[in-house]
Structures are given as structure tokens and as C-alpha cells.
Amino acid sequence: MNNQNRQKKLHDFWRRRGLFVTGLAMTFFVSWAAMGHADALYIFTGVDDAAIVLDDSTDEVPDLSSQLVYVSTSSQGYDVTLAAGQTVTIHHQGSIISAQTRKETISSLLGRLHIEPAPLEMVAVDLSGSGVELTIADSLTYYDKVRETVAYETVQVANPELPKGTERVVQAGSNGERTAIYEVIWSGGEQVARHFVEEVDSTAVNEIIEYGTASTSVTAGDRIASVQKNADGSGTLVFTSGATLNFSGAKSMTATAYTSGYGGADNYTATGTAVRKGVVAVDKRVIPLGTKMYIVSNDGSVVYGMATAEDTGVRGNKVDLYYDTYQQCINFGRRSCTVYILE
């Protein structure tokens, strides 16, 4: 059955589910079947309760007026008596037969009409209308509504303010109970499939986990959107891209640009690395070699960006910033900068 037909049948069934058997002027009672009892499986629909299966091993007989499925598997089984005067429509092997009920069992009614289900055929009893509708076939489908325990689900939600690769739980999950609808298929007297169709309600609480989508790397041209400072001088740089950098402290220092071939600078630093943009010369008594930094002019007009203390040659509260060309050095000159010492 394709999904569209399944949903249509489900809609039609639950649209009529509020009709109870007692409203049909029918009387049910359960008894041991008499001679001539048809050997068949009965499926009752149109009643607002869950499905059960009855067979000869059942110790207690439930009230069939509130059940969906009834099974008779042998000449000694359960049978259902219908009230007299009801209209019965029977679908069997492509034919449609209408009859009026007497005070008789379903098996007696079928016997009176000379209809005997084949060994693998089943009888669907539809109680949702003003009368009774029987469908006799070797394959039948019905919808079972059950109350069952259900585990909570985990829902992940993107958070552009969290750094990429991080998560946080914003709502703890808890298990609960739900009312669920299953499509049940019987064929040849046996249940062959049971598929979940719909969840009507649930008391389970989903676990909600936010995951970060903000970039954790600072790219060229990225600007500081805000600086979050702590009481001890540490803090976080938040960039317009959403990236963040944590710093342990910030220093206001005088910065001067330099490049190789000018002022005695060559192509290698005091630590033996090649000079390049991002190399900074420091007084290692003020800033230890190897320190990672983020540098921006105090007026915000120039962002030098990510840097590493790899060279020496300055004294005191100063830093020299390497640029690739002499013209870039002229453009920068000497400025007051804030040097954020990165963690």
C-alpha cells in the first residue's frame, strides 16, 4: 500500500472512531462456538481502543465491545452474536451481498448466506457505520492505536554564536509514554507486518543540543566586533565573522614597522625562522619568544592581526611588526597599538 492510500484510510478510520459499538444497537456476547462455527480470524474496526488477539489459550474473555481484533482459530473458539434487524453488507470475492441480521452469531450469519471463508481468508468487521460491514479476504489491513513507553529523542540545533566544534545541552531529555498508531497487515491468517504510522501524543521530553557554527579561525580582513573582558584582565575577542579568540591579557605598546633589507634586518629572525607577515620582534623580558598575539592599532584604523613573537632587537614596551614591502612600512610608520596576548 502506498503512503497516500495509507494516509487516506487512516484519516477515514479515525474520523469515524468516536462511534461506539453500543451506539449501533448491537449486542455482543462471548460463548463457546456451536457446530458449524466458521474457522476464521475476525478483525473489528471502528472502535476507539487498542487491538488484541484472542485464541483458545485465553484464560479470561474480555469485553469485545471495546476491542478491535477478534480471532477464532478452531471449532472451539469465541464467536460474536449480533442483534436482530441490522443491515449487513458483505464483500467477498468481488461480490457484494446485503442481508438483515437475526439474533445470530457472525459465523451463523455467514453459514445462512452460504458463505464459508477459505482456510486462509479472514473476516473484517467494520462497526463504524449505521450497520455492519464484513469484508472476507486473504489479506486485511487495520490501524492499531496503543499506549506505549517511548524514549526521548535528541534534537540538534545550530547556534551561530557558539564556536564551531562545540556543543551545549540546553534541555535535558526524559522518557515518557505516547499514543501511537500502527498499520497492521494480516495475510493467510497471520500478522505479516506492523508499521508505525503516526504519534498522536507523547509525554517524552526531547533533549535539545545546540552545536556551534561560528568560525574558530580569524581570516584576513576580519574585524573585532566586541571585546569581552574579565576582572583578571583576560577575555575574549569576538569577530564580525563569529570567530572568537581568548586572550590572557592586553598591553598597550608602541609598534614600528620593519622589513628585510632595511635598518639591518635580514631574511631570518633571531629564532632562525624566515621573516614574513605575522613575525614580531619583541623584548623577550616583556613578551616571551613564541607568544601568540593579536595586534590592532588603538584607533582601530589598522589591524595587523595574528602574530608570533619570533624576533628580537627592541627594548621595553615596544614591538616591531614585519611587513613584506618597504612601502607598507612607510604606510604604517609608528603607532600606538593594543597587543592581545592569546591563550
- Give the pLDDT of residue 2: 52
- What is the per-residue pLDDT for 110? 86
Helix, strand counts (H, E) of the chain = 3, 23
- What is the residue-level pLDDT of the chain in tens, covering all 343 positions? 455 555 555 445 444 433 323 222 233 333 323 323 334 566 665 544 433 333 444 455 444 433 334 444 444 445 567 778 888 999 998 899 999 988 877 878 888 998 888 777 878 777 666 778 888 888 888 788 889 999 999 999 988 767 777 889 999 999 999 999 888 888 877 788 999 999 999 999 999 999 887 666 777 778 888 999 999 999 999 888 778 889 999 999 999 999 988 877 888 998 999 999 999 999 999 999 999 999 999 988 899 999 999 999 899 999 999 999 999 999 999 999 999 999 8
Report the greatest alpha carbon distance in the chain. 117
Write down the architecture of domain 224-342 according to CATH.
Beta Barrel (2.40)
In sequence order, the β-bridge partners of residue 255 are 319, 335
Q: What is the pLDDT, as a whole number, of residue 22?
A: 27
pLDDT in the model for residue 74:
42
Backbone angles phi, psi at 196, to 5 degrees: -70, 135
Q: What does the alpha-carbon distance between residue 24 and residue 47 come to, in Å, rounded to a whole number?
A: 11
The pLDDT of residue 76 is: 45
Angle, CA 202 vertex, CA 199 and CA 207 arms, to 5°: 110
For the chain, give every domain's residue range: 3-144, 224-342
Quote the CA–CA distance of 115 and 94 in Å, as a whole number: 13
Helical H segments across the chain, by residue range: 3-15, 106-112, 326-332
Q: Report the candidate in 4, 7, 23, 24 with the shortest Cα–Cα distance to residue 15.
A: 7
Q: Cα angle at 114 between 110 and 117, to 5 degrees?
A: 60
Q: How far is CA 303 from CA 223, 225, 249, 266, 307, in A?
A: 8, 13, 18, 24, 11
CA angle (106 as vertex; 105, 109 as ends), nearest 5: 90
pLDDT given at position 261: 87
